[in-house]
Amino acid sequence: MTLSTESALVAITGASTGIGAATAREMAARGFHVLAGVRRQSDAEAIRGPNVEPLELDITNPEHIRALATRVREDSLGRPIRAVVNNAAVQANVPIEAFSIERWRDMFEVNLFGHVAVTQALLPLLIESGGRVINISSVGGKIAMATYGPYAATKFALEAVSDSLRREVARHGVQVVVIEPGAVRTEMLGRAVAGAKDSLSAMTAEQRRRYGALVHAVNAQAEASTKSGLPAEAAAAVIVKAVTVRKPRTRYTVGREAALLSMTRLLPDRLLDCMFAAALRPHLRKGFQFSSASTADR
């Protein structure tokens, strides 16, 4: 059973492309009035349409978040907010040693602290309306594979925040749902692959010797999974379900891969290490080995 969408707001962060844009369009098609957070004016014009109202929204900018809360509050009597979809994210596949502490902080600002700030700003209104918080995590919020450490760390943290928030606000009528996509064909994954290649050139020679083969293999694996991944619309359909069903689950996976990887957490760590290493071997370039003798520029 689903809830009525008549005269209801949904706020979506990171709605310029990919899952966010697909969700905005699907929500609008269902009759919601969507406040679609975008970073650039060109993105605003691309997403604008019936029931889709683009808003400039950098979730690391307190003024933008206050403006979003003000916009929602203006409509709170005639058009209450049904949900906030915390979707904005950045990704980089870089070994922990080679990922500068400044980039670590930047990633947490977007993938965690920005979502907390948006949620804090809208939570009083969500409590008034009995709305929902939908946090877009990842299979990386359950499993941290090699070079995914920084991204996975932010998603593990988002999962923890979601669990705690769910237990805090349930008595106030607000439901908190986590969405865990696997491989989805989005621009973000493509940017992560490109960023990893750039990061190789920024590494020291010693770091390239240590991690060059690994980074190339992970990039090749990510590119292959992108080609075979689900369309963004598949993730959007799951998000819409989480917003509209009367009794949503606390977590939804998107795609068979995500469901299977989530189940691997029950296996011993050493076995998982071997499984993930074996999965990377077909993607190694000729001449590379996972050893200290490997270099990135052979």
- 36-89: pLDDT as tens digits: 999 998 899 999 999 999 999 999 999 999 999 999 998 866 789 999 999 999
Q: Which two tokens stand for residue 242?
A: 């989480």
Active site annotation includes 151: yes
Structural domain includes residue 275? no
d(CA 256, CA 139): 11
Q: Widest CA span of the chain, in angstroms?
A: 66
Give the mean pLDDT of the chain: 88
Structural domain includes residue 253? yes
The two beta strands, 184-185 and 81-86, are unpaired
Structural domain includes residue 237? yes
Q: Is the pLDDT of residue 1 over 60?
A: no
Structural domain includes residue 87? yes
Quick check: 51 and 7 in contact, CB under 8 A?
A: no
- Reported as a pLDDT band with limits 50, 70 and 90, residue 297 is very low
> Which of 148, 151, 211, 252 is labelled catalytic?
151
- The vertex-107 CA angle with 157 and 132, nearest 5°, equals 50
Half-sphere exposure for 45 (CA within 13 Å, toward CB):
2
Instruction: Look up the domain containing 106 and give its range.
Output: 9-185+230-267
Structural domain includes residue 252? yes
- Reported as a pLDDT band with limits 50, 70 and 90, residue 293 is very low
Structural domain includes residue 205? no
User: Domain total for the chain?
Assistant: 1
**Intra-chain end-to-end CA distance of the chain, in Å:** 58
Half-sphere exposure for 267 (CA within 13 Å, toward CB):
15
- Reported as a pLDDT band with limits 50, 70 and 90, residue 208 is very high
List, for residues 103-137, the tens digit of each pLDDT value.
Answer: 999 999 999 999 999 999 999 999 999 999 999 99
Helix, strand or coil for residue 188? helix
Tell me, what CATH number does 244's domain have?
Answer: 3.40.50.720
d(CA 16, CA 36): 8
Judged on CB neighbours under 10 Å (0-12, 13-18, 19+), 177 is buried
The predicted model scores a pTM of 0.89
- Reported as a pLDDT band with limits 50, 70 and 90, residue 179 is very high
d(CA 224, CA 5): 38
Structural domain includes residue 294? no
Of 82-91, 193-202, 232-241, 275-284, give the lowest mean pLDDT range.
193-202
Structural domain includes residue 86? yes
